[in-house]
Structure 1
């Protein structure tokens, strides 16, 4: 719900920005305590604006805002430091995180735990440890789906509630959840692997434990999570994913 009280010193990330007038911007912002919100940054496009070098994606901010309309007014924004703007594949990966949030999160729906996970993933993306980038993306997909209630239980078959057998193979499908795989399902994981992921996403520090779990099964997880996300987003291919494909084809 919209509020007319002023919010100060709120941890936030800019997900997207739109032109609103010759000098102002509309921002889609992910905040820790208030979820995804829309803010107008008046005068942000002016060369002398203090907002101009700060209101960038993938940069940790503290913001202050107020107003009682659906789009509130940004009062201040302070960069919290820590890393410079990612480039290349890391930048596209960051845009991918943001596209998922913009598509799957309703405005004004609080997700403090998801904000903290996002913060962890952005720090990995912005680091020079490119070897963990894919594991961080799979971790983000799993934990995003869990936090918004779209990830089925990973310790049993969804339709029958039958427990998983450690050596049997299972597949995660959009309309059926976790089911036993057929011989043609090459991307399937064993019951033991799904049980490992189930324990990881339920852990008190899910980012770290899920990142470690995903590292050994990324090739199988990627197509399954992609199909599930596309199904819930209502698209065949996300824009950022298509951009990556187009760039690789050049």
Structure 2
């Protein structure tokens, strides 16, 4: 086996994002099952006779073969892996939102196999028209947990007691959930009922979904460090409502 063949790798991957590169090529961000987030150059992908034509699209599950030692790998082969995922309307924008979170928050070359399976399940649910809001909230929770930023929403971090569904609480970075003190207007006020439902992945009504959305937005914005979520803005412009974050 020559050194070039020995350096080749293969994995199952989902396309997160693509952009043009030079005249006929593409730069591709992908989430791979075993090797995590990867960046590829796909030479000649935009040529009419390219075997990659129509394959390198967001949400497509593909079998990849690639090589290269730098951050930007050369993609040699891509084959479809069923089932294919089709997203439309708000579900499409929700899928783009999830892709952006992965691109911004996952480091390259770090394996996240459990999160890959969660992502796969998230896309499947979006394609089957489940409730968008709860799908996104539960994926956000899994993402934060996988990155080591998970929060115990079911317990008061100061007292160690279970949250009381009849009380209100606040979230402090580095400290966790505590009973709402009302001494800082910038602090987000969340009902104990919402926190208990979030902990159990059982958001049941619009109030809980809205409060959970606001809370997880605050937490994620901290870790995003000012990087904009473009899919949210596109969705707002198109629909003038916010089902994303």
- Name the TM tier (shorter chain): 0.7 to 0.9
Residue 149 (structure 1) shift: 1.1
Give the drift of 1:102: 1.0
Q: Is the deviation greater in 89-98 or in 60-69?
A: 60-69
Kept after mapping to 2: 8 A contact 1:173/1:227 = no
Superposition misfits of 4+ residues, deviation over 4 angstroms: 173-176, 182-187
TM-score by length of 2: 0.84
In the comparison of the two structures, how many residue pairs are matched? 230
Residues 165 and 230 of structure 1: CA distance in aligned 2, closer, same or farther (over 3 Å): closer
Q: Distance in 1 between matches of 2:37 and 2:103?
A: 8
Do the aligned partners of 1:187 and 1:219 also contact (CA within 8 Å) in 2?
A: no
Q: What's the Cα RMSD here?
A: 2.4
- Equivalent position of 1:58 in the other structure: 59
Deviates more, 1:44-53 or 1:178-187: 178-187
2:7 to 1, 5, 11: 5
Bigger drift between 160-169 and 141-150 goes to 160-169
| TM-score, scaled to structure 1 | 0.82
**Paired residue secondary structure (2:99):** helix
Q: Is the 8 A contact 2:38 2:108 kept in 1?
A: yes
Aligned runs of 1:93-132 on 2, under 5 Å?
93-127=94-128, 129-130=129-130, 132=131
Q: Which residue does 1:220 correspond to in 2?
A: 211
The CA distance in 1 between the partners of 2:98 and 2:110, in whole Å, is 17
Alpha-carbon displacement from aligned partner over 1:74-108 (angstroms, at most 9, x marks no partner): 12111123244312211111110011111111111
Find the counterpart in structure 1 of residue 43 from structure 2: 42
- In 2: Cα distance, 1:20 partner to 1:38 partner: 13
Find the aligned partners of 2:164 and 2:30 in 1 and give their Cα distance: 42
Q: CA deviation at 1:176?
A: 4.5
What is the SS of the residue equivalent to 1:37? strand
Q: CA deviation at 1:233?
A: 0.5
Partner secondary structure for residue 223 of structure 1: helix
Q: How does 1:200-211 map to 2 (within 5 A)?
A: 200=200, 210=201
Give the CA deviation at 1:62: 1.6
* Cα distance change on mapping 1:41 and 1:181 into 2, 3 Å: same
**Rounded Cα–Cα distance in structure 1 between residues aligned with 2:155 and 2:217:** 21
1:195 shift after superposition: 4.6
For structure 2, which runs of at least 5 residues remain unmatched after alignment? 1-5
Single out whichever of 66-75 and 169-178 deviates more from structure 2.
169-178
Q: Does 1:141 align with 2:165?
A: no
* Secondary structure, counterpart of 1:124 in structure 2: helix
Distance change >3 Å, CA 64–CA 237, structure 1 → 2: closer
Per-residue CA distance 1:105-146 (angstroms, 9 max, x = gap): 11111111000000000111122x24x221101111111111
Q: 1:83 to 1:189 in 2, by over 3 A?
A: farther
Matches of 2:101 and 2:56 in 1, distance apart? 20
> How many Å separate the matches in 2 of 1:73 and 1:110?
19
